[in-house]
Structure 1
Amino acid sequence: MSRLLLLFSLAVFISCDSESGGKAYHDDYKTAFDTILDNYDLSGSVLIYDPQQQTYYSNDFEWSKRDFLPASTFKIPNAIIALETGIMKSDTSIIKWDGKKRDFESWEKDLTLRDAFQASCVPCFQEIARKIGTASMKTYLNKFHYNDMDVTTENIDSFWLKGKSHISSFEQIDFLERFLTKKLPILNTTRESMLKIFKIEENQTYKLSGKTGWSYNETNNNGWFVGFLEKDHKKYYFSLNAIPKDANKMEKFADGRKQAIYDALRAMKLI
């Protein structure tokens, strides 16, 4: 390599590292992540952040910077705000079913906050959002630096499902990291309840917590799976955002969002 090319490459590296706040971007697993997404007929990005090494891994960093509707991943801040305002007292607080027909039978019963979160009960969290109200919702989202939510009185129970609200994979991970490292201005009781609400799987090796999301905004289905892995006293954060390769072939879409992350973590030998 010529001296000029070496100096140019070093300058680019330093510039990128500086812009990312000292964090590095690696595409070591690009081929593996692309293959995993292909296996589930998905196009999109897998973004995994290792805070111990201050390193992001992805197959598509540009996609990870793009904004999309948060969909049901917004149940994370929605639940936090419900706990902070006292609308919900804990993870076991009951959300009563109003007896009306719902999209899924699993939603047609009284649910604890944790069960509603895990079942992704849309009507449950719409009710919570209405109880929080527009003013308090805006106040807490601003307090949490959970930006770019278009909240109005008219859309208080749907702004995360349709419309102009948006978030990127990098922003999802930033919020999750601030939550898990106690940098969100919330009560310890809220954090402890949320850790119970979040948890998907725990075994002798690791604990995995997260939330899926699925939106359809006029043109495309868009899917999320965001969360964090705790293993050997270390933490890793992940965010998948993807669309189906073929809108007529949706068979793998729902499960594929979660399974792709599990496969990516296996590829990195984290689980």
Structure 2
Amino acid sequence: MHKWLLIVGVMLILTGCIKKQFLGDEEKQIAFEDYFDGFEGSFIMLDEQTNDYLIYNEELIETQVSPCSTFKILNALIGLETGVIQDANHMYKWDGTTYNMEAWNGDHTLASAIKYSVVWYYKRLAKEVGLSQMQHYMDLVKYGNGDISGGLTEFWIMSSLKISPREQVDLLRDLYQDKLPFTSDNMAIVRDILVLEDTEDYTLSGKTGSGRTGKDEELIGWFVGTVQREGHRHHFAVFIQGKNDTSGYKAKDIARQILKDLDLINALEE
């Protein structure tokens, strides 16, 4: 089986900005194929300090697909910047519709809606932002293909909007470096609500996304995020597609295993 050997400073592609190896122990090997057993998938990580990328499945890294619920990151930023919502505690009242996801059946704030990936909250937010402002910020950010023609409350859900794993990572880099066209306060709010694990050793932030392609019952899953350890940030994206057990939750599991094996996070206690 092919192994990716972790070697310092070798095999840079193009202008030294894309790296297929990871800075680390020369004797440590990682078989990325093992993480993605049963899926077609990809992994990309940007080392913010060195500006190098660690890549698995380069072709898929550049392929644009639906962002699904990972778009909630930008949706939240746009909602805050336009003043439609004021802060992480901005609440939308539940309208009483019963959803299969029990956590959706209740009132939600911006923070709780991103934690539980509450689709109805973000659909309402997008509707209140409106088409013209949504397109304005989509163009400013240059988010993926920028196509919101699929409908104001649907375009990011297996519809017209598409983004690549590399673009996902570059968006996170700009978010954490305050380089997006939003106020620093609003970017800080979104960074804060994305935090999943905050320990003495590291902070892990991220967002899942899941969808169904409609082709041969194929499913997709995303997990995009940032890990900070000892003041050093890495931004990453895991994308998978397949039929069985394919979801954002599975992509998150794969990402956590890779991050653990790269000594960026700790194993969760049983």
TM-score, normalised with respect to structure 2: 0.86
Query: Which residue of structure 1 aligns with residue 7 of structure 2?
Result: none
Cα separation, partners in 2 of 1:115 and 1:95, compared to 1, 3 Å: same
Q: What 5-or-longer segments of structure 2 have no aligned partner?
A: 1-10, 23-27, 266-270
Which amino acid letter does the alignment assign opposite residue 233 of structure 1? G
Cα separation, partners in 2 of 1:174 and 1:102, compared to 1, 3 Å: same
Pair 1:193-2:189 in alignment: yes
Given the alignment, which residue of 170, 176, 182 partners 2:178? 182
| 1:116 Cα deviation after fit | 0.3
The structure that has the greater radius of gyration is: 1
| 1:17 Cα deviation after fit | 2.4
Please give the secondary structure, in 2, of the residue aligned with 1:178: helix
Query: Which residue of structure 1 aligns with residue 63 of structure 2?
Result: 66
Please give the secondary structure, in 2, of the residue aligned with 1:62: helix
Query: Which residue of structure 1 aligns with residue 80 of structure 2?
Result: 83
Please give the secondary structure, in 1, of the residue aligned with 2:40: strand
In the alignment, is the contact (CA less than 8 A) between 2:222 and 2:248 conserved in 1? no
Query: Which residue of structure 1 aligns with residue 25 of structure 2?
Result: none
Which amino acid letter does the alignment assign opposite residue 224 of structure 1? W
Which amino acid letter does the alignment assign opposite residue 164 of structure 1? S
In the alignment, is the contact (CA less than 8 A) between 1:30 and 1:59 conserved in 2? no
Query: Which residue of structure 2 aligns with residue 239 of structure 1?
Result: 237
In the alignment, is the contact (CA less than 8 A) between 1:91 and 1:197 conserved in 2? yes
Given the alignment, which residue of 112, 119, 123 partners 1:126? 123
Which amino acid letter does the alignment assign opposite residue 110 of structure 2? L
Please give the secondary structure, in 2, of the residue aligned with 1:82: helix
Higher relative contact order (CA 8 A, sep 6+): 1
CA deviation map 1:139-194 (0-9, x unaligned): 01111121313213x61000000323210000001111011001112112202211
Query: Which residue of structure 2 aligns with residue 4 of structure 1?
Result: none
| 1:27 Cα deviation after fit | 4.1
| 1:256 Cα deviation after fit | 2.0
What CA distance in whole angstroms lies between the structure 2 residues aligned with 1:66 and 1:267?
Answer: 26
Please give the secondary structure, in 1, of the residue aligned with 2:137: helix
Which amino acid letter does the alignment assign opposite residue 196 of structure 1? D
CA deviation map 1:54-76 (0-9, x unaligned): 22112211111111101000001
Query: Which residue of structure 2 aligns with residue 204 of structure 1?
Result: 200
Query: Which residue of structure 2 aligns with residue 25 of structure 1?
Result: 19
In the alignment, is the contact (CA less than 8 A) between 2:221 and 2:249 conserved in 1? no
Pair 1:222-2:220 in alignment: yes
Given the alignment, which residue of 241, 249, 260 partners 2:254? 260
In the alignment, is the contact (CA less than 8 A) between 2:211 and 2:247 conserved in 1? no
What CA distance in whole angstroms lies between the structure 1 residues aligned with 2:248 and 2:135?
Answer: 31
Number of residue pairs the alignment of both structures matches: 248
Pair 1:157-2:156 in alignment: no
| 1:31 Cα deviation after fit | 4.7
Identity across the alignment (%): 29
Cα separation, partners in 2 of 1:253 and 1:185, compared to 1, 3 Å: closer
